[in-house]
A and B are shown apart, each in its own frame.
Chain A
C-alpha cells in the first residue's frame, strides 16, 4: 500500500489517539510541574468599641486575578514529585536518621500516602494474579470435560463476573459481605461476634478486596485457557495414553507445558490490569484502609475545594512509570512475534 493511501486510511484513528491519549499524557506531565497558586493574604484592621485588632484574611480579588492570569498555577519543577504526598524524600531521609531499627523505619515509610498506596497496589496485583491463573485453569479443564449441550450455558454463567464493570461487581459483592448483608450477618452469627465486620480491620478489608479481584479476573483466565485447551495436540495425548499415563500425568506433562505461553500472557495482562485497581475501592467503601495509586489521582481530581492538578499529574506520571515496568515483557514478546511473522 503506497504511503499516501496509508496515510489517509490511518489518519482518523491516529488523530484520535494522538489528541486524546498522547497529548493528555504530555498535559499531565506539564501539570505535574506546576502547583496551585498561593492565596494572597492581606491584613485587615477591625475596629470596634473595645479597640482594634488586625486579622489576616484572604484577598479574594487579588487571588482571583492571579488565578485568571495563571490558571495552571505556578511553576514548581519536580517539587510536587518529592513532596510529602508523593516520593517524600525529606520524610524518608528524616525517618532513616531518626529510627533505630528497620521495622520502625518501614512503619514510617509505609504510612506515607504514596508508599501506602503503592504497597496496596502491588499487594493486590501479586495476590490476585496467581490464584486467578490456577483457578482459571481448573475451571477451564473442568468445563472442557462437560457435554457439549451444557457448555454454552455454563460458559455464560462463568463469564458474568467479568462482564459487569468493576464498580457494579464490587457493589454486588459488598452488599452481601457487608455486616448487614447475607454473608456478613451469617458470619457474625457463626462466630458469635456482633462487631465482626468487613470494616473491623484493615486486613479483612484487604482480603475482601483480593477475593473480589480473584472473582472478577478468573473468568478472563478461564476463557483464554479454555480456548487454548482446544488447541492441545491430540497425538501426544494418545501416545501417552497408550503408554499407560494416568489422566493426571497427561495433564501435568502434556497439557500444562502446552499452555505455558498462554499462562504468561494471562499473568502479564492480569498484572497490568490490576495495577490500575481503583473502582473496587469505591464499591467496597474501603477508602479508609486501602488506597491505590489510581484512587489517589481520583481523590485529587475530586477534591472539593480545588482540583489538585499538579498532585494528580505527578501521581499519574509515577503510575505510568510503574505500568512501563510491567509492560516491558509484553512489548518484548510482541516484538519477537512480529519478527518471526515476517
Chain B
C-alpha cells in the first residue's frame, strides 16, 4: 500500500529535481564562489570590468604570475594576525561549551526531576531570557564592566556567552532528560544513592546524545558570535568574526577586502566540517521544541 502512495509520476520527479537543484544553487553557490574568489586578487574578485576575470584570474596572473594565489591567506594570517583571532576563538569556544554543558546538565537534570511548581516558573523565565536581544544585554554590560575594569579580556566574554547560552541549553537538556526514564535514577535512590551520586553514576552514562546536541548549539553560538565579542573584547583579543569585520572598515587594516574574503573561508570551513559530522544532532535539537505540538 505504502508503495503505491509514495510512487511518483515522472513529471513530479523532474519538476522536483529541477527545484532541488535550483534551491541548492541558491544555498551553496555563494560559499563556493567565495572559496574560489579567495584565491584571486581584489581586481578579479571585485571586477567592475568583466566578471569572467574572476573565473580566469586575469589580474591575478598579472599581479602574481599565476592564476591562483595564496597571498590573501598568507597576509591575513601573518600581518592581519588572523592566527591570533583563531586561537582566541578556540579558547572561547572550548571554554563556553564545557562550562555551559557543566552548568546546563546539572540545572536541567534538577528541573526534569523536581515535581514542584517553581520549575515551571524557572523554565518560563529562561524562555523570556532567551528572547532578549544580545545587543540589549551588551548595553547593560559595558558600563559595569568598565567600572570593574574587566572589559576587553577573554574570561569576561566567556562567562557572558555561557550565561547567554544557558536558557537554550537548559530547555534542550530539560526536554532530553524528560525522555530518560525516571525509574532509572529512582531505583538508584532507593538503593541508597544521593541525588548527586544518581546523577553521576546513572544519568551521566546515558546522557551523551543530549549533551552532544546541546554542545553543538553552544559551540555554534560561541563560534559565530559577533555582537558580544565585537563590543566586549578589545581589538587585541578579537575572535574571528569581529576580526573579519575589522578587516573591512577600520583604519588599522585599511579596508583590506581580500583578507576578509580569505578569512571568511578560513572561519567557515571548520564549522561546515563539524556540522557535516553532527548534522543529525543539529536537526534533532532544532526540532526538539517544535514537533510535539
Measured CB to CB, the residues of A under 8 A from B are: 1, 3, 5-6, 9-10, 12-14, 16-17, 19-28, 31, 71-72, 138-139, 142-143, 145-146, 152, 154-161, 163-168, 171-173, 175-176, 178-182, 185-186, 215, 219-220, 223-224, 226-228, 231, 234, 237-238, 241, 247, 261-262, 265-266, 272, 275-276, 278-279, 282, 294, 297-298, 300-302, 307, 309, 312-313, 315-317, 319-320, 323, 326-327, 330-331, 333-335, 337-338
In the complex, are the beta carbons of A28 and B136 less than 8 A apart?
yes
In the complex, are the beta carbons of B136 and A319 less than 8 A apart?
yes
Any A CB within 8 A of the CB of B149 = no
Q: How many Å from the CB of B118 to the closest CB on chain A? A: 8
With contacts A20-B159, A167-B226, A185-B50 known, what are 10 further pairs, Cβ within 8 A?
A1-B195, A9-B106, A28-B139, A157-B24, A168-B244, A227-B286, A262-B293, A279-B226, A297-B139, A337-B293
Q: How many Å from the CB of A65 to the closest CB on chain B? A: 17
In the complex, are the beta carbons of A25 and B137 less than 8 A apart?
yes
Known: A20-B160, A180-B46. A175 touches B37 (CB 8 A): yes
In the complex, are the beta carbons of B287 and A171 less than 8 A apart?
no
In the complex, are the beta carbons of A71 and B147 less than 8 A apart?
yes
**21 cross-chain CB contacts under 8 A:** A5-B196, A9-B195, A10-B122, A20-B162, A21-B137, A25-B132, A25-B140, A71-B143, A71-B147, A160-B272, A163-B271, A163-B272, A167-B226, A168-B267, A168-B268, A171-B260, A178-B46, A180-B47, A309-B142, A320-B133, A331-B124
Stretch from B65-73, B108-116, B207-215 that touches the partner? B108-116
A residues in contact with B170, CB < 8 Å: 13
Known: A5-B195, A182-B54. A167 touches B241 (CB 8 A): yes
Any A CB within 8 A of the CB of B220 = yes
Distance, CA A176 to CA B37, complexed state (A): 10
Q: How many Å from the CB of B194 to the closest CB on chain A? A: 8
B residues in contact with A163, CB < 8 Å: 220, 271-272, 275
B residues in contact with A180, CB < 8 Å: 46-48
**For window 80-108 of chain B, which residues contact chain A by CB distance below 8 Å?**
102-104, 106-107
Q: Scan B214-241; emit 1 where CB is below 8 A from any A CB, else 0.
A: 0000001001111100010000000001
* Among B28, B129, B293: residue with most chain A CB under 10 A: B293
Q: Smallest CB-CB separation from A163: which chain B residue?
A: B275
Q: How many Å from the CB of B232 to the closest CB on chain A? A: 10
Distance, CA A84 to CA B149, complexed state (A): 32
Distance, CA A186 to CA B49, complexed state (A): 10
In the complex, are the beta carbons of A168 and B264 less than 8 A apart?
yes
In the complex, are the beta carbons of A160 and B28 less than 8 A apart?
yes
Of A22, A261, A294, A330, the contact of B135 (CB 8 Å cutoff):
A294
Distance, CA A167 to CA B260, complexed state (A): 12
Any A CB within 8 A of the CB of B20 = yes
In the complex, are the beta carbons of A323 and B147 less than 8 A apart?
no
In the complex, are the beta carbons of B291 and A16 less than 8 A apart?
no
Q: Scan B261-280; emit 1 where CB is below 8 A from any A CB, else 0.
A: 10010011001100110010
Q: Smallest CB-CB separation from A22: which chain B residue?
A: B129
Any A CB within 8 A of the CB of B188 = no
In the complex, are the beta carbons of B241 and A298 less than 8 A apart?
no
Q: How many Å from the CB of A137 to the closest CB on chain B? A: 13
In the complex, are the beta carbons of A16 and B163 less than 8 A apart?
yes
